[in-house]
């Protein structure tokens, strides 16, 4: 099968579809002083700390991302707080300042200020400053895409902070319970929201598709409760647990703080952490915080793949770091794109898209047996002869394979299918060698025309004579395409001069003939 490409430019920019804004929840910011909560056991700050273990795990996983490590290894922003003048470098404010700033946010989602929220603001702006600065850098990449999708579904744009407390904007994070991706979907919930999860593909890790699923789920939860605090809490622990907390609180109560003591422990920290994250990522400058620039390609192109492909094939042929490919294709769990089953997108940096198409044959054939050793290709068991079918009434032609020919080229010459060539010749794959003979079966009435077409389309290459070529010794990182480019010749010419196929593997030290210009 020849590769089929559809090129789509992706800037995490999506068309906006008009939608009816959700709900009539009042938009007043609820401001509560810290004092009334001091005497209540349900707001013990120690309990909140115990509830943050999952958030801490996601933050730690975020710091282990390749592009985060690559961006922060030499970044001056991730330095320790100076030992002098700490109060000036890390300012702290009175409650009245926090109340005024939160009121200024004017969010359609109720924003409460109390000791719990204050404690979590301190956590973001004091205790995990370095991690917040990384999240600020990631937000510059992911927030525009998230806001486009939330707007498309008619949802408050402030819901983007749910992704912050869910995953710290890490599309590859997996929780202890198995929740996966930026929006932390469990397997069952993911499939209910039409995300594909298979051995090779996990769309929970796809930032765009998972954000769409997250938006739909939040929209459904708001329809149930008519209250964003409860919808956000239900996103964390499920509507069943929220409904149970409402019943235990006396029924009919629909306020997060009223049902707070009856919620699962981790959910008690969830809404306060959401408010604290919104505050901290809005007013980071006032806390002397600086976003860390994250080195992710800001614009990528999607190339639709219709053959099985391993990201390592792309990485090694095109000299793109494998971790960079994984960072923009996080949905492929084992680096394999199972394109033979259906079309899947491969994202590459925009400047590399044209090069990928030019090198497609070399990429798909590079170390194919090594990197695509999964069970997608059919194999004939040892000692079993594959039956030859579809030859009744046809005449046989013995085709001698020319240098540079592939099964696809030969099939096109004789107007037959690649699968027929494989069946007629007992081939389990597509690798063939120049000089060998293939059996081809055609209708008797079309034999003469097939032979004429095949003969006229076969290029004759004169053998190189002494003095007509120079010798090039292969070095580490070389490819046929790179060598051809350096000498101003075509890839096919290099293959023909050296009796190589596109699937041939170059070895360091190997000597290649290059015809003199």
The catalytic site residues sit at 166
For β-strands 336-338 and 437-442, DSSP reports them as: unpaired
Helices (H), 177-310: 187-192, 207-225, 228-237, 239-248, 256-259, 265-268, 270-282
CB 501 within 8 A of CB 431: yes
For β-strands 395-400 and 437-442, DSSP reports them as: antiparallel
Place of tokens 């958030």: 55
Q: How many CB atoms lie within 10 A of CB 501?
A: 17
Contacts (Cβ under 8 Å, ≥6 apart) of 213 = 183, 185, 190, 193, 194, 195, 204
Q: Count of H helices and E strands in the chain?
A: 25, 9
Nearest CA to 65 out of 154, 135, 157, 162 is that of: 135
CB 158 within 8 A of CB 124: no
Angle between helices 270-282 and 115-122 (to 10 degrees): 50
End-to-end alpha carbon distance in the chain: 35
What is the rounded CA–CA span in Å between residue 474 and residue 133?
Answer: 45
Q: How many CB atoms lie within 10 A of CB 385?
A: 7
What is the rounded CA–CA span in Å between residue 515 and residue 497?
Answer: 8
Q: What is the CA radius of gyration of the chain?
A: 30
What is the rounded CA–CA span in Å between residue 232 and residue 291?
Answer: 26
Helix/strand/coil for 373: coil
- Cα–chain-centroid distance for residue 1? 26
Six-digit token string for 264: 């699962």
Contacts (Cβ under 8 Å, ≥6 apart) of 116 = 37, 43, 45, 48, 269, 272
């Amino acid at each position: 099968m020849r590769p089929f490409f559809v090129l789509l430019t992706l800037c995490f920019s999506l068309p906006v579809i008009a939608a009816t804004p959700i709900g009539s929840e009042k938009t007043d910011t609820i401001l509560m002083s810290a004092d009334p909560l001091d005497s209540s056991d349900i707001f013990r700050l120690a309990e909140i700390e115990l509830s943050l273990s999952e958030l801490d795990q996601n933050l730690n996983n975020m710091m282990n991302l390749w592009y985060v490590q690559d961006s922060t290894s030499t970044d001056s922003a991730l330095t320790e707080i100076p030992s002098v003048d700490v109060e000036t470098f890390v300012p702290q404010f009175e409650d009245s300042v926090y109340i005024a700033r939160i009121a200024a946010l004017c969010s359609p989602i109720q924003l409460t200020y109390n000791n719990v929220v204050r404690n979590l603001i301190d956590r973001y702006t004091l205790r995990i400053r370095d991690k917040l600065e990384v999240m600020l850098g990631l937000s510059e990449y992911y927030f525009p895409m998230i806001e486009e999708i939330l707007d498309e579904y008619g949802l408050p744009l402030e819901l983007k902070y749910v992704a912050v407390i869910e995953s710290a904007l890490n599309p590859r994070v997996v929780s202890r319970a198995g929740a996966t991706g930026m929006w932390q979907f469990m397997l069952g919930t993911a499939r209910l929201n039409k995300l594909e999860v298979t051995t090779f593909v996990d769309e929970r890790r796809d930032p765009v598709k998972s954000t769409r699923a997250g938006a739909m789920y939040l929209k459904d939860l708001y329809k149930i409760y008519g209250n964003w605090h409860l919808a956000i809490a239900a996103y964390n622990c499920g509507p069943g647990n929220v409904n149970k907390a409402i019943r235990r609180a006396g029924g009919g109560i629909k306020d997060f703080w009223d049902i707070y003591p009856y919620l699962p422990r981790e959910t008690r920290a969830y809404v306060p952490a959401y408010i604290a994250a919104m505050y901290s990522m809005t007013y980071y400058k006032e806390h002397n915080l600086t976003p860390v620039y994250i080195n992710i390609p800001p614009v990528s192109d999607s190339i639709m793949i219709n053959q099985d492909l391993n990201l390592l094939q792309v990485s090694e042929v095109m000299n793109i770091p494998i971790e960079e490919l994984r960072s923009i294709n996080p949905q492929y769990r084992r680096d394999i794109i199972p394109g033979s089953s259906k079309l899947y997108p491969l994202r590459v940096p925009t400047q590399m898209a044209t090069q990928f198409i030019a090198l497609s044959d070399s990429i798909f054939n590079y170390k194919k047996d090594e990197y695509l050793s999964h069970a997608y290709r059919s194999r004939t068991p040892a000692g079993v002869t594959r039956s030859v079918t579809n030859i009744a009434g046809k005449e046989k032609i013995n085709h001698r394979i020319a240098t540079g020919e592939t099964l696809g080229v030969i099939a096109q010459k004789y107007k037959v299918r690649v699968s027929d060539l494989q069946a007629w010749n007992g081939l389990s794959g597509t690798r063939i060698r120049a000089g060998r003979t293939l059996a081809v079966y055609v209708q008797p009435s079309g034999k003469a025309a097939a032979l004429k077409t095949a003969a006229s389309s076969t290029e004759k290459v004169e053998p190189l004579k002494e003095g007509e070529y120079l010798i090039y010794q292969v070095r580490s990182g070389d490819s046929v395409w790179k060598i051809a480019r350096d000498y101003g010749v075509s890839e096919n010419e290099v293959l023909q001069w050296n009796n190589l196929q596109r699937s041939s593997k170059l070895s360091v030290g190997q000597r290649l003939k290059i015809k003199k210009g």
